[in-house]
Amino acid sequence: MIPVPAWYSEYRKKRKYRQLRRWKAGILLALFAVFFSIPAGAKGDEKTMPDFTVKTAQNGSHLEISLTAANHSNEDIHLEFPTSKQYDFTVYNSQGQPLYTFSKGRLFLQAIQHITLEKGEEKTWKQVWKNAEAPGTYTVKAELLPSKINGKPGRKILAEQTFTIE
């Protein structure tokens, strides 16, 4: 066996210590990068969320359904949608059974859509449910479907209204 100089064992200890320090620094750097790559308020800040409402109006045997996204904040709200399906709604009877769903049987363009609501601006979508003849109490549950709100991951925004047909 070859004799090892006395300084070599001290060198190996320092070398291991430097490698360990580099490894710890690498781990800390990776954790730092992951932590700061997650956007704060990833669900959208409540103050920059649009107000979403649903209103109904009967017109003979048709029911007009108006969905409105309004910006009541002090800054613009930019909504991004992954498809042309920007909203959806379902009409339920008084027993909670779905009678009509807007998106059922429809095809939507698979292209990113953008809407910017300036301060105080509203965007209204109107649809007609043509078979609203039977008297009774109904509920419309609507949802706005942005994938991003002001560049941050979005979520469904819900609205609901109960109405009566006489």
pLDDT tens digit string along 87-122? 999 999 999 999 999 999 999 999 999 999 999 999
pLDDT average, residue stretch 138-155: 94
Q: CA-CA distance, 50 to 15, in Å (whole number)?
A: 58
Q: Where are the domains of the chain?
A: 1-38, 46-165
Q: pLDDT category, 84, cuts 50, 70, 90?
A: very high
For residue 16, give the H/E element and its range.
helix 6-37
CA angle 96, 102, 108 (to 5 degrees): 145
Q: CA-CA distance, 75 to 159, in Å (whole number)?
A: 22
- For the chain, helix, strand, coil in percent to 5 are 20, 40, 40
Q: What is the CATH number of domain 46-165?
A: 2.60.40.2360
At 43, which amino acid appears?
K
pTM of the predicted model as reported, rounded to 2 decimal places: 0.69
Q: pLDDT category, 27, cuts 50, 70, 90?
A: confident
